[in-house]
């Protein structure tokens, strides 16, 4: 399904699609999730890879571009085969792909568990199955694509922790799936929110996510200073 969001603009405005507003909020409106109890340092030194899917990749990428310790982020596709990793095919919803974001991060500045906290708190709504706000289809499902067994353990443990704490009013439907491949999306999707800040879709759906990151998790927020390289090895 392509983004026929013009017809859904009133709904998008009302829901602030996928911006985390359905999470646990205190009286001041701030979403508060606990830090992951299981969050060990990676087994190998150096930059690490994390891949998340949570609705339209424009907004998820915009959030992680603003996270301290994130070196690069790309929009792309994961969950399906290489020969179907094009926007037109993925938009049909039957390729097995989810719109995803690949994050390269420095674990000396931000841990995998902290990235998970950002993912659940502000990047998307983990209680929506096969949709985020006005975007509907399996390509918009919530997925953590783990790159290592340790990432799988941390992700599973954090979901269990949030579930036990009743952190969300509805069940978490996020899948935890091994990363088989990540395929970079077309160049015009990269850094889309930053390049199109006045787009109604970005204004209603994605800009609030970045604003909530700054408001709710200020210690993890930064202003991006580098241009994201769309070439991914």
**Mean pLDDT value of segment 153-170:** 97
Q: What percent of the chain has pLDDT over 90?
A: 80
Task: Give yes or no for residue 15 having a pLDDT over 50.
Answer: no
73: Cα separation from own chain's centroid = 11
* Residue 31 pLDDT class (50, 70, 90 cuts): low
**The CATH number of domain 46-220, selected from 3.40.1360.10, 2.60.40.2480, 3.30.1060.10, 3.40.50.300:** 3.30.1060.10
What pLDDT does 95 receive?
97
pLDDT digits (tens, 9 = 90+) for 91-142: 999 999 999 999 999 999 999 999 999 999 999 999 999 999 889 999 999 9
pLDDT digits (tens, 9 = 90+) for 49-100: 999 999 999 999 999 999 999 999 999 999 999 999 999 999 999 999 999 9
* Residue 21 pLDDT class (50, 70, 90 cuts): very low
pLDDT digits (tens, 9 = 90+) for 222-232: 998 654 444 44
What pLDDT does 232 receive?
41
- Please give the structure tokens belonging to residue 66: 């603003």
- Please give the structure tokens belonging to residue 119: 């993912």
Among 12-16, 43-47, 159-163, name the most confident range: 159-163
Residues 6+ positions from 145 with CB-CB distance below 8 Å: 51, 52, 53, 78, 79, 100, 177, 178, 179, 182
Task: Give yes or no for residue 22 having a pLDDT over 50.
Answer: no
What pLDDT does 23 receive?
44
- The CA distance from 55 to 115, in Å, is 17
Which active-site residues does the annotation give? Answer: 56
The secondary structure of residue 100, as a DSSP letter, is: E
- The sheet carrying 70-78 orders its strands as 175-178, 142-146, 48-54, 98-105, 70-78, 182-184
**Mean pLDDT value of segment 205-219:** 97
What pLDDT does 29 receive?
56
* Residue 28 pLDDT class (50, 70, 90 cuts): low
**Mean pLDDT value of segment 11-30:** 43
Please report which helix (H) or strand (E) contains residue 184, including its range: strand 182-184
Q: Tell which residue, 115, 169, 171, has the closest CA to residue 145.
A: 115
Average pLDDT of the chain is 88
- Cβ atoms 95, 56 nearer than 8 A: no
What pLDDT does 43 receive?
87
Domain positions in the chain:
46-220
**Mean pLDDT value of segment 168-175:** 97
- Cβ atoms 141, 109 nearer than 8 A: no
What pLDDT does 148 receive?
97
């Amino acid at each position: 399904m392509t983004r026929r969001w013009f017809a859904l603009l009133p709904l998008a405005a009302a829901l602030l699609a996928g911006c985390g507003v359905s999470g646990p909020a205190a009286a001041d409106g701030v979403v508060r999730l606990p830090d992951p109890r299981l969050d060990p340092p990676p087994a190998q030194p150096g930059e690490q890879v994390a891949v998340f899917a949570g609705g339209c990749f424009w907004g998820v990428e915009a959030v992680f571009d603003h996270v301290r310790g994130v070196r690069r982020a790309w929009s792309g596709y994961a969950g399906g085969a290489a020969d179907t990793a094009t926007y037109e095919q993925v938009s049909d919803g039957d390729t097995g792909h989810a719109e995803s974001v690949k994050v390269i991060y420095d674990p000396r500045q931000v841990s995998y568990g902290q990235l998970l906290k950002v993912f659940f708190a502000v990047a998307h709504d983990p209680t929506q199955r096969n949709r985020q706000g006005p975007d509907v289809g399996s390509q918009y499902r919530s997925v953590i694509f783990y790159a290592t067994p340790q990432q799988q353990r941390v992700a599973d443990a954090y979901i269990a922790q949030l579930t036990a704490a009743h952190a969300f009013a509805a069940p978490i439907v996020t899948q935890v799936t091994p990363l088989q491949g990540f395929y970079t999306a077309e160049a015009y999707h990269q850094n889309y929110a930053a390049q199109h800040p006045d787009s109604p879709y970005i204004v209603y759906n994605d800009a609030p996510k970045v604003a909530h990151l700054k408001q709710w998790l200020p210690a993890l927020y930064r202003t991006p200073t580098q241009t994201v390289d769309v070439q991914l090895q």
